Amino acid sequence: MKTVIVINGRGGCGKDTICDICAGIYPVANVSSITPIKEIARMAGWNGEKDPKSRKMLADLKELFTEYNDLPTKYILSELDKFLASDNEILFVHIREGSEIAKFVEAASKRCRTVSLLVKRLTKDYENGALGNASDDNVEDFNYDYTFINDAPTLEELAKKVEDFFKNKVMRLR
C-alpha cells in the first residue's frame, strides 16, 4: 500500500538523511512544498543559501503565494498524482507550517494512507533557538502521528534506528 509521510523538523535535524536511508530500503519519492517558491526566488537572485535571512525570505514568499493562489499545496498535490501513478511505495512530503500540513493531510488521506512525522535532534546546536521565521520556528506546533528522535552517534547507527522505526512503527500498519 502506498504511504505518504509528511516529514517536518527544524533545519539540520536529519530529515533528508532519513529520507535517503529509507530510499535504500523502500521505493521512495521525495518532494517539498517549498520547491516552486525556491524556483521563483532563484529567478529573483537567490542562490540557494540556507542562512536565516534566506530562510525568512523563502518563508515570507511561500506565505504570499499560499495566500495568493495556494501554489505550494497545488504543487504537492500534483506531485501526489505522479506518486500514485508510480511504482514508489513512499512519498515524503516536506511541509513546515502546521496549517499547510493539515490541509495537505486532509486532501491526501482521501486518496492513500497519509501520516505525519516530526524529526527532532536533541543536541545543543539544534536547540540553539529561533531561526527568525514562523515556518521554521513553529515546526513543533502540530500534533504529529509519529516523532523520531535523531540521537544516533554514527550514520550507521542512525540507519539501523531509521530502519527499525519505519519497519516497526510507520510502515507496520499499511
Half-sphere exposure of 11 (CA within 13 A, CB side): 17
pLDDT interval class at 106 (50, 70, 90): very high
Which tens digit of pLDDT belongs to each residue from 2-52?
Answer: 999 999 998 889 999 999 999 999 999 999 999 999 999 999 999 999 888
Task: Please report, for residues 9, 20, 107, 146, 166, the alpha-carbon distance to residue 26 in angstroms, rounded to integers and kept in the order given.
Answer: 22, 10, 24, 19, 10
pLDDT reading at 118 higher than 90: yes
Q: How far is Cα 62 from Cα 73, in angstroms, rounded to an integer?
A: 10
* pLDDT at site 12: 83
Whether 80 and 86 have beta carbons less than 8 Å apart is answered as: no
pLDDT reading at 108 higher than 90: yes
Q: What is the mean pLDDT of residues 75-98?
A: 96
pLDDT reading at 94 higher than 90: yes
Helical (H) or strand (E) element with 108: helix 98-108
Domains in the chain: boundaries: 3-170
Whose cell is 507496520? That residue is 172
| Nearest in space to 3 (alpha carbons), one of 109, 100, 75 | 109
Q: What kind of fold does domain 3-170 have according to CATH?
A: Rossmann fold (3.40.50)
Please report which residue ranges of 24-138 form alpha helices under DSSP H. Answer: 35-43, 52-69, 71-84, 98-108, 134-137
According to DSSP, the residues that pair with 141 across neighbouring strands are none
Task: Please report, for residues 99, 100, 161, the alpha-carbon distance to residue 148 in angstroms, rounded to integers and kept in the order given.
Answer: 21, 21, 9
Which tens digit of pLDDT belongs to each residue from 121-172?
Answer: 876 554 555 566 666 777 888 999 999 999 999 999 999 999 999 999 988 7
* pLDDT at site 128: 53
* pLDDT at site 122: 76
